[in-house]
Amino acid sequence: MNPLLSPFDTAPFSQIKNEHFKPAFLQSIEDARAEIDAITNNTEAPTFENTVEALEFSGHQLDRISSVFFNLNSAETNEEIQKIAQEISPLLSEFSNDITLNENLFKRVKAVYDQKDDLDLTVEQNTLLDKKYKSFSRNGANLSEDKKKRLREIDAKLAKLNLTFGENVLAETNKFQLHLTDEADLDGLPEGEKEAAAQLAISKGKEDGWMITLDYPSYIPFMKYAKNRELRKKLSLAFGSKAFHNDELDNQENVLKIAKLRFERAKLLGYKTHANFVLEERMAETPEKVHSFLNELLEKAKPAAEREFKQLEDFAKKLDHIDRLEKWDSSYYSEKLKQELFNLDDEKLKPYFKLENVINGVFKVAENLFDLQFEEVHDIEKYHEEVKTYKVYDIDKNFISLFYADFHPRAGKRGGAWMTSYKSQWKRNDENVRPHISNVCNFTPSTKSKPSLLTFNEVTTLFHEFGHGLHGMLANTTYPSLSGTSVFWDFVELPSQVLENWCYEKEALELFAKHYETGETIPMELVKKIKESATFQEGMQTLRQLSFGLLDMSWHGIDPTSITNVKAHEEEAFKGTNLYPATPETCMSTAFSHIFQGGYSSGYYSYKWAEVLDADAFAYFKEKGIFNKEVATKFKNNVLSQGGTENPMILYKRFRGAEPKVEALLERAGLL
């Protein structure tokens, strides 16, 4: 019996074998196809219920299987799963096209759409109808047969290319290992980091020495603390040249193919560029508005960034007679300068941020704001022993969500941090089906002598992903495709980024920042320094984020057909934001998974846009009190629970009473 083909609530991880996936996909695609046929062949006149709603709830089992499979492919993959993904992705792409290019189905949806003003629909029903209609019109329903055929070909190719891109980045990350046997090479590294490196060496089959890899918990401390400049350079160039080696894992050709196919697809659908196509369904609306937004911030941030860079250069010269500051010097001297200016470094802070305490802290913040309670449970199946599982309840003990938490790096797990879902929330037949949400991160693991102690950056990352998690957990909509994080991409980062603000507040830190050995609450002096250092090098950080947004738009906001050299194109895009000397050996585009594998193509600017939203939103909390129930309830009722049921600006204004102001971000960042 294939466990994926039986109805399941929680994912039955222990019963699933790799050989179950492909048959389950093939069967569930056929079942979903039969549901689509039933809608299309219905002899009754098209109505919202028998066409739009029926379409929304079709393919449920396929959705559940897809979520299990592709989440595993990100968090616990292997060569066999990757091979299945390469076989399955084109089939799913083809099935998706079979729906959006189904002429008779489109006719039924259009018939409902054309009479929507007379149907007395709710706001959410109107949004769903609009979304379903656009899913056809924006994906080729109005094309001629030959153009529909070409669209199918493009989508199948893109599905495979996106996967290959991600597999190459993961393989490159796993491939690099810096095995050190001379302890002098670790000079500057704190004892805890040395111990972690020694433990990592053993786990990689080396009986002696220390191992440094390109996984963040290993890479970042070395770049921040190691005195050996040549080794920092070696590591930096390895990190910056992932999938840029002219070998079998090279992504240059994949980048060019993806950009050009996306452009061809957009043109086929009647759009000027891929960015024009994407941004039609974003708060920003057009590439021109994105460029205007990025350039406005660039104008404000660049002078500050140049001043900060000059300060860092002068500091490195004074300290170590460094004549030319390079990229591999950035973290090292920034950390030293930060210590000098604020007498603050991660080693002073980490003892107060034991992972379990930070988890309890973010739960406590959620309890104080939204009346949620988290209960760890041990009877839910997990895909890896490190995963923790929780049941989430409201103040009246109503079940709200299941929550999976997976925090440490592994060979089968891609880098970075993300939130995902194993089951959406929706309402049907008087039942409110609750979601299953997951946070996946790559934090510093525990060692023999110390528990997992987080850097402050890891603390903010945990809060960030948990903000996304709350958006999923507190969803309270009728339709799954409008639920939780199913919102415009430049709105999706608001819940995550706004929650980071609590990490800087005394009232919140006192809930969880306790010394892992003594239990002492973080001293006020350190809290003050965290606050003071919050805008340290903010100009440089802003310039870096803007450079990524501009690179994204340079690939997707133009006709890329004449681009032949990935590196040269990237250098041109970065021209206005460069501070450090160029490194010919490195290339960001070949490992820029957000835009070439994830969903952020033409959308990377949204991190900065969401900072405007979150700075403006948190200013409201600050004004009323960071745990003010009235403001928190407004945020829950108008943002977190509403998903994509209405235009995000309407939802935001309902919460805040006005549109967000860019000045809130500039003021917080000290750039005004």
Catalytic residue positions, numbered: 465
Q: Where are the alpha helices (DSSP H) in 428-537?
A: 456-473, 493-500, 506-512, 524-532
- Structure tokens given for 146: 């030959």
DSSP string, 548-559: HHHHHHHHHSS-
DSSP string, 584-635: TT--SGGG-HHHHTSS-TTTTTHHHHHHHHHHHHHHHHHHH-TT-HHHHHHH
Which residue in this structure is represented by tokens 């004449």?
562
Instruction: List C-alpha distances in Å: 308 to 176, 305, 316, 335, 408.
Output: 32, 5, 12, 13, 33
DSSP string, 91-135: HHHHHHHHHHT-HHHHHHHHHHHHTGGGS---HHHHHHHHHHHHH
Burial class (CB in 10 A: 0-12, 13-18, 19+), 250: middle
CA distance linking residue 362 with residue 407, whole number of Å: 14
Burial profile 281-290: b = 16 or more Cβ within 10 angstroms, e = fewer: ebbbeebeeb
CA distance linking residue 279 with residue 284, whole number of Å: 6
Burial profile 602-630: b = 16 or more Cβ within 10 angstroms, e = fewer: bbbbbbbbbbbbbbbbbbbbeeeebbbee
Which residues lie across from 406 on neighbouring strands? Answer: 440
Span between the terminal Cα atoms of the chain, in Å: 63
Instruction: Taking the CA atoms of 620, 623, 627 and 631 in sequence, report the sign of the dihedral they define.
Output: negative
Residue 156 in contact with residue 417, Cβ under 8 Å?
no
Which residue in this structure is represented by tokens 């960042």?
669
Which residue in this structure is represented by tokens 């450079």?
547
Q: Three-state SS for 521?
A: strand
DSSP string, 435-452: PEEEEE--PPPP-SSS--
Residue 134 in contact with residue 54, Cβ under 8 Å?
no
- Structure tokens given for 63: 């959705």
Burial profile 196-215: b = 16 or more Cβ within 10 angstroms, e = fewer: bbbbbbeeeebeebbbbbbb
CA distance linking residue 549 with residue 604, whole number of Å: 5
